[in-house]
Structure 1
């Protein structure tokens, strides 16, 4: 009998650890070895996938590895290949030069081949505007499509104008105390698991409540904000915890960043960006749940503490 393949989950962590085939943790190199040996396959070699025609190019072990690496980047809060491609589109719109078009071509080709079909999020166009723009004038698109003209390139730029901005919005009122510079994109604090331990190089993950940073608050010492909060919640007498919990969390966060200047620097480095605290463990009261709601109070309190750190003397 031949080898029997079965569908299994592949769990990818932000620190590059990968879990498959049981409980062993491997890395990208280990996954590559298993793909090469055939102990892991991207599809059952003996079966025909009805989804194969949906990909511009077939899924291969090499492109699968690239997709996993992309997922690690996303979990770590770093830009993915698709996000870099969108950034290259914006740069090209601002300055439509051959250098910009070449940079866009490299960014698009860096996306795993089997995913280069819905990068623009349009199922009907299937990235055709990008394919047209990245094809030189006088050459056929994809080798057998229409011959590209300068007018087609101009049409693509108009498409990107609509794609990037949509309907023209009414100008937002400017108030006297608004920041002079543009507000940066939101900072998203994801609930990331590091099975091999916290990274040595400090990054945004230190802003999470479960990061091990000792805090002194309310007469006690706690290993982290998370543990301090629940210790105080369990020891609280009375039925008004829901009324005081916001003040408790604010106090714990102030204690954390006052006691640890290196962590305060990470918080201050977020500038005046909105902080979105995501995850599934905390109540929606504390986290940003996207379209499902959520009050994002931890994110908002982090912004408050950041502002207080920026003006420590209150003068």
Structure 2
């Protein structure tokens, strides 16, 4: 069970989403480590392998599910020990089934639980013996470690499922369960009928504060080095180094970047030199040669927000370009800063986030809401 752990690897420039879970790898002794599982079906168990190769790793014990007494183990140089009366709830078959489900989940397709619930819906709509057996087969295909979570009901757990698919007089997969009585079966039917009603009501609810489309396509504001304004700059016009002069406290700066770097220093002569720099890059180089204002790291977000608002207030044509990005996430690259840029997912993307804030301000003005 991998929960909500999220990671990725890059293959041919494409990010492949993944997740991880703990595992023991046996390479002489036993090592407690992480098993990485990716959406394209590759598994990293101290080397990328296909699902079929992973199955062989399980069969041979490279990925260990048996922990013999006296065997030596360690965990990333944090600790070492020997197993004594170790108990494992896993088997190679169970791990493989859980990993198959994880790959399905990473691809946002039905896993064994989803396939089981779909088969149960078919049975409830047409209660033939053939459909019941199909639902039972799908239920038993869920890894035993996951069956109790199949309904997402930690009060009833999987009781209604195992009773429903067993049928009156049948036996569930749990040896301790008695044969299914007609009364128990009827209660399971009632449970699913009520569950269907609840799901129908839930699906028909309209969220109070969510867009109809959760994720608009992201807009990537790639690096660009414009020398002069153009008639139709497109998304390049949203870059901080785009030559769109702004006036701040009666001083005209050639771009947001010029103004940002000028305001980051205290010496008036350096500010003037930065404001007169031929390019935004040159402005940054001048700023780097002198000390920042005291507390600059605490106020720079406010300064940048003010400068972005000034830019789009003073350049309506650029404001229209920003508004045209709708609700898209704005991904801003900055080769010089992991604070301001997204930089391939490694940065904090503050410029992109502040542009989204300014965009929201512009939408409010466009709507003409007097209450704000």
State the distance in 1 between where 2:57 and 2:347 align: 33
1:59-208 matches, cutoff 5 A:
59-141=90-172, 142-166=174-198
State the distance in 1 between where 2:103 and 2:199 align: 34
SS across alignment from 1:6: strand
2:63 is equivalent to residue 40 of structure 1: yes
| TM-score of the aligned structures, taking structure 2 as reference length | 0.46
Runs ≥4 residues deviating over 4 A: 47-50, 167-174, 186-189, 207-210, 218-221, 241-246, 250-253, 279-284
SS across alignment from 1:16: coil
The equivalent of 2:36 in structure 1 is 11
Map Cα deviations across residues 141-163 of structure 1 (whole Å, 9 max, x no partner).
43442222333222101111233
SS across alignment from 2:63: coil
Map Cα deviations across residues 68-123 of structure 1 (whole Å, 9 max, x no partner).
11111111121111112222233333333323212211221221233222212233
State the distance in 2 between where 1:73 and 1:170 align: 25
CA positional deviation for 1:45: 3.7
Contact kept in structure 1, 2:169 and 2:179, CA below 8 Å: yes
Residues 219 and 6 from structure 1, CA distance in 2 versus in 1: closer, same or farther, beyond 3 angstroms? farther
Residues 9 and 219 from structure 1, CA distance in 2 versus in 1: closer, same or farther, beyond 3 angstroms? farther
| TM-score of the aligned structures, taking structure 1 as reference length | 0.53
The equivalent of 2:323 in structure 1 is 247
CA positional deviation for 1:173: 10
The equivalent of 1:310 in structure 2 is none
The equivalent of 1:264 in structure 2 is none
SS across alignment from 1:7: strand
Tell which has more relative contact order, 1 or 2 (C-alpha 8 A, sep 6+).
Answer: 1
CA positional deviation for 1:34: 1.7
2:264 is equivalent to residue 233 of structure 1: no
State the distance in 2 between where 1:168 and 1:219 align: 49
SS across alignment from 1:111: coil
- Rg larger in 1 or in 2? 2
The equivalent of 1:31 in structure 2 is 54
Residues 136 and 161 from structure 1, CA distance in 2 versus in 1: closer, same or farther, beyond 3 angstroms? closer
State the distance in 1 between where 2:141 and 2:205 align: 40
State the distance in 2 between where 1:171 and 1:70 align: 25
Name structure 1 gaps, 5 residues minimum: 53-57, 175-185, 190-206, 211-217, 222-227, 254-278, 288-294, 298-315
State the distance in 2 between where 1:74 and 1:34 align: 22
State the distance in 2 between where 1:166 and 1:44 align: 45
The equivalent of 1:200 in structure 2 is none
**In angstroms, what is the RMSD of aligned CA positions?**
4.7
State the distance in 2 between where 1:44 and 1:117 align: 26
Contact kept in structure 1, 2:149 and 2:158, CA below 8 Å: yes
